[in-house]
């Protein structure tokens, strides 16, 4: 598929859009059957050194910045595991300190649970040596979104060169991480053609995981009054990603739920196969301002219910405790 075809597909609606989604679901079924992946995310810190225009965690903003300890991360990993969720995602703003704290936690989680949990990191740009350290202590995978593949837009919204971000993605690939990346759909100033460029770029990176999530105007950012990214275009971007990277993990992001109840089911119907449940300690959740204070926080129950509506199995770990059974029951 070439860029012009991608651009055309991003714009289809009605019967053609239905056909696009059917094709995407068919490819998903071919590579994954009816099996989805549930991840448990723990947001390790709301501190960040960056100034991304769209992000309320940007360094200029003053709010309760927190940083979990290694103990709290290990405790969170136990909760994720006890819920039967097979992937722990440790995510946070970009600060140097996370290398040490998260590295220490990973060591202890590996000691305690072996390789029963996949450990996925979403911690921003770090040096090759820091990434190597995190891989050495036992991390499996890393997501570093390029956000936009257009140099000028990247510079305008993120204040540093796209090439640096791409070099970091290459570092992760070289270190044998399973690598994820992705794009923001409808970033102010982005054209459909540029979104097509993003998806072609994602394919060229040969990613294991790839997201397309809509731009959400967040309070306390320079983009607070800009329009949201288009919902239908985001769904089409998910479906096209499924075609370009058929074996990849593609999330039905929580931002889809901001448009309408069932927004994430629509993401699954467009070919996504991942849903992320929030396991951040309650005391810190309100200090993680991604998408603003009124973000949609996904619970395990919502995730299982959503997957069921999308016709997908949750793949929770079988011998985990009874939470799983009782939740499944509550969702029938």
Site of interaction with ligand 5AD (CB under 6 A): 54-55, 145, 147, 184, 213, 215-216, 218, 290-291
Tokens of 189: 């100033």
255 or 316: CB nearest ligand 5AD: 255
Nearer to ligand 5AD, 72 or 147 (CB): 147
Cβ distance to ligand 5AD smaller for residue 27 or 228: 228
CA 5 to CA 24: how far, in whole Å? Answer: 15
CB of 213 to ligand 5AD, least distance (A): 6
Pick the closer one to ligand 5AD by CB: 252 or 316. 252
Lookup: tokens for 317: 């770990």
The number of CA neighbours under 13 Å toward the Cβ of 73 is 28
Give the nearest distance from C-beta 317 to ligand 5AD in angstroms: 26
Kindly tell me which of 83 and 148 has the beta carbon lying closer to ligand 5AD. Answer: 148
Kindly state the smallest distance separating residue 101's Cβ from ligand 5AD, in Å. Answer: 18
Alpha helices in 205-322 (DSSP H): 231-244, 263-269, 282-285, 300-309
Nearer to ligand 5AD, 223 or 327 (CB): 223
Q: How far apart are CA 174 and CA 87, in angstroms?
A: 22
What is the spatial distance between Cα 229 and Cα 286, in angstroms, rounded to a whole number?
24
CB of 174 to ligand 5AD, least distance (A): 21
Instruction: Judge whether 226 and 188 are in contact, CB under 8 Å.
Output: yes
CB 188 → ligand 5AD: shortest distance, Å?
A: 10
The minimum distance between CB 173 and ligand 5AD, in angstroms, equals: 18
Closer of 199 and 304 to ligand 5AD (Cβ): 199
Closest separation in Å from C-beta 216 to ligand 5AD: 4
Contact 177, 139 (CB under 8 A): yes
Under a CB-based contact definition with an 8 Å cutoff, are residues 304 and 314 in contact? yes
SS3 168: helix
Burial class (CB in 10 A: 0-12, 13-18, 19+), 122: middle
């Amino acid at each position: 598929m070439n860029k012009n075809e991608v651009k055309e597909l991003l714009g289809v609606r009605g019967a053609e859009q239905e056909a696009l989604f059917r094709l995407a679901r068919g490819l998903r079924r071919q590579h994954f059957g009816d099996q989805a992946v549930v991840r448990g995310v723990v947001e390790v810190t709301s501190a960040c050194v960056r100034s991304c225009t769209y992000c309320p965690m940007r360094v200029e903003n003053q709010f309760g910045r927190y940083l979990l300890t290694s103990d709290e991360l290990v405790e969170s990993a136990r909760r994720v595991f006890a819920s039967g969720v097979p992937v722990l995602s440790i995510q946070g703003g970009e600060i140097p300190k996370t290398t040490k704290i998260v590295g220490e936690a990973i060591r202890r989680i590996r000691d305690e649970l072996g390789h029963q949990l996949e450990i996925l990191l979403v911690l921003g740009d770090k040096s090759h040596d820091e990434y190597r350290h995190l891989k050495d202590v036992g991390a499996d995978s890393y997501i570093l979104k390029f956000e936009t593949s257009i140099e000028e837009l990247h510079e305008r919204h993120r204040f540093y060169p796209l090439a640096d971000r791409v070099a970091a993605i290459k570092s992760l690939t070289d270190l044998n991480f399973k690598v994820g990346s992705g794009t923001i759909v409808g970033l102010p100033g982005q054209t459909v053609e540029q979104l097509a460029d993003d998806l072609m770029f994602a394919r060229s990176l040969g990613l294991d995981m790839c997201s397309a999530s809509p731009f959400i105007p967040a309070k306390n950012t320079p983009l607070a009054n800009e329009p949201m990214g288009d919902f239908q275009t985001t769904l089409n971007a998910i479906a096209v990603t499924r075609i370009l990277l058929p074996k990849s993990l593609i999330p039905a992001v929580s931002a889809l739920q901001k448009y309408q109840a069932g927004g994430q089911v629509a993401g699954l119907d467009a070919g996504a196969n991942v849903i992320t449940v929030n396991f951040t300690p309650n005391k810190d959740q309100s200090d993680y301002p991604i998408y603003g204070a009124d973000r949609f926080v996904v619970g395990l129950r919502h995730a299982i219910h959503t997957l069921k509506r999308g016709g997908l199995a949750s793949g929770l770990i079988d011998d985990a405790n009874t939470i799983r059974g009782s939740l499944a029951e509550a969702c029938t």
